[in-house]
Each structure stands twice: as structure tokens, then as C-alpha cells.
Amino acid sequence: MEQPEGYDGGSGRVCKLLKGLYGLKQASRIWNNTLHTHLVELEFKKCTFDAGVYYKMGDHNKIFLSVYVDDIVITADPRDVKKVVEALGKKYNIKNLGRVKYLLGVEINYVPGKILCISQTAYIERLLKKFGMADAKAVRSPQMHNEPTLRIETNPELINDPTIPFREMVGSLQYLVHCTRPDLANAVRTLGRYGGATIKEVKNNGNSQEQKHLAKKTRSIAELVARERLEIEYVPLAKNIADIFTKALGPGVFERLRDQLNLENVRHAMRHCVEADRVGRDSDFEPDVEMKEA
């Protein structure tokens, strides 16, 4: 922070801030603390497992607030939503954006009491274009059964090649897995794996300090089994939905397990949304509210 032109006088001094200003690295934290204090005053509680989620019991049902910087999505009974909007509006200059349709790269289509469809079609198309795969051929499965394991690159020049944004690519795919495409989890995990720690563990016979937490969890499971408080059963491939997260599968098995996850082609899901919206168009349900601090 420098003094404005005409105030310096050649002294080279800087200004001491009395409060946070927009654009400073501390600004986002100050804003979050300010918003948190106000939400607590409104009797909201912060979720233990997600610092961006707040909740409380409203007059008609639970109210959930999802906070991302200055974007707030409210999920609740419309009457409770209205009260929260009014309470926040007394302190902040807010803008009601209506029912949320697009948030953080996720497209949201919702017909009250009928269907909720989330997808990332636009996000995927941007990734394909960004990483030069816009014309790539589509396949039925991201991996094939018993396909050869990818060789781990050890050449430092190739690993750190600035022309190959590999880490950015894997991170972008991981966000996709986290939001709407859990069926791609194993393929992305394979791309992002690091073999060095595994090799070290094998050479040290499992005695490294870094692996003690794994040994503790393993022993805990063994103790529960011994005390007959936990029973471990083998689940065959044909019935094990979790295999889609941990194994390379051919198209047939992959598509069957994906269907069991209730994942659906976005085009089919959108047709269901349109049909459900047509059937329920006469409903008196009020839209959800998304707000943004101006």
C-alpha cells in the first residue's frame, strides 16, 4: 500500500491501514469472519465437516446456507428463505439472483418435488478445448479391464516440463470427479498416483513413520472383527458397486455399475427435467434464492 500521488513528498513512507481493503490478500478472510459473525447472530451454526455450510432450524424446516466467498445459496422452505434474505438485506447490499442454475462450474436443473439434475457439460467442453482434446474420439469406458499399468515417469525434465500442464489437468479432472462424475474416480486416481511412497514403504518393510496411521487403522479394524463388532464379507464383482472407484473396468461392467450409482446421461436427464417441469408448472412453489453481496 503506497501513498497517493501528491502525498508522498519523497519520504518513501507507506500507509498503515486501519481496516481491510478489497484486493488485499487478507481481504477474503476478513470478509469471511465478518459474515460468520453475522450468521451466528442470526442463530446459524457452522457445519463441522464443511466450513462453507451453515444451518439452523427455521419456522417450517431446516435452513441450509452454502457460502462461497460472497455467493450464498439458501436451501429451505420458501417462507424461511424469504426471512433469511430480509435479515441479510438489513446489513448487506445483496442481489437476489433467483433460483440457482449455475454455480462453480456445475449446472443445476431442479423441478421441486420431481427431479434434481446436476451436470458439468460446459465445464467438460472447456477442459477438452483447453487441453487440446476437443476433437478426441469418445469411448464407452475411461479404462479397459486388465489394461497395462502406466509407467511412472522418473525423468525430471519431463516431469517439470512447463509445456505439459499435467498437474493442472489432473486437478481439473479431480474437481469433475468430486462434483458430478464419481465414475471417473479410478481413472483420475491412476493419472495422479505417486509411486515413490509405496516403493519406500516396501523397502522399509512397513516401518516408516509416515505409515503409522495406516497401521493404526488396520489394527483397529482387526480388533473390531475379533470382538465380533464388525464382519467383513467378500462381495463379487457383479455386485460390488465400489469396484467402479478402484478398478479399471471394461465398457459393459463400467456402464452397469455406473447405472447402479444412478448416474444418467445428461441429455436423458434433461428430458426428464423438462417433462417434470411441464407436469408441475402449475405448482405454487416459490423459487430458491441465490444471493450475492454487491
- At 41 the pLDDT is 93
- At 272 the pLDDT is 64
- At 14 the pLDDT is 74
Nearest-angstrom CA–CA distance, 271 and 266:
9
- At 46 the pLDDT is 93
- DSSP letter for each residue of 62-94: EEEEEEETTEEEEES-HHHHHHHHHHHHTTS-E
Interstrand relation of 106-111 and 115-119 (parallel, antiparallel or unpaired): antiparallel
Nearest-angstrom CA–CA distance, 100 and 83:
18
Nearest-angstrom CA–CA distance, 69 and 274:
32
Residue 287 CB coordination number (10 Å)? 13
Q: Are 249 and 257 in contact (CB under 8 A)?
A: yes
DSSP state of 188: H
Its sign, for the CA torsion 83, 84, 86, 90, is positive
118 by DSSP, 3-state: which? Answer: strand
pLDDT digits (tens), the chain, 294 positions: 666 677 766 666 777 788 777 888 888 888 899 999 999 999 999 998 888 999 999 888 899 999 998 889 998 888 999 999 999 999 988 888 888 888 888 998 877 777 788 889 899 999 999 988 888 888 888 887 777 666 666 677 766 777 778 888 889 999 999 998 888 888 888 887 654 454 454 444 445 555 565 566 566 777 887 888 888 778 776 678 888 887 878 888 888 888 888 777 766 666 766 666 565 554 444 444 444 443
In the chain, where does DSSP find H-type helix?
27-41, 78-89, 121-130, 156-159, 166-179, 185-192, 196-203, 212-226, 243-246, 251-260, 266-279
Instruction: Pick the closest to residue 110 from 273, 291, 289, 275 (CA basis).
Output: 273
Residue ranges per structural domain of the chain: 27-92, 121-206+242-274
Residues forming beta bridges with residue 107, ordered by sequence position = 102, 119
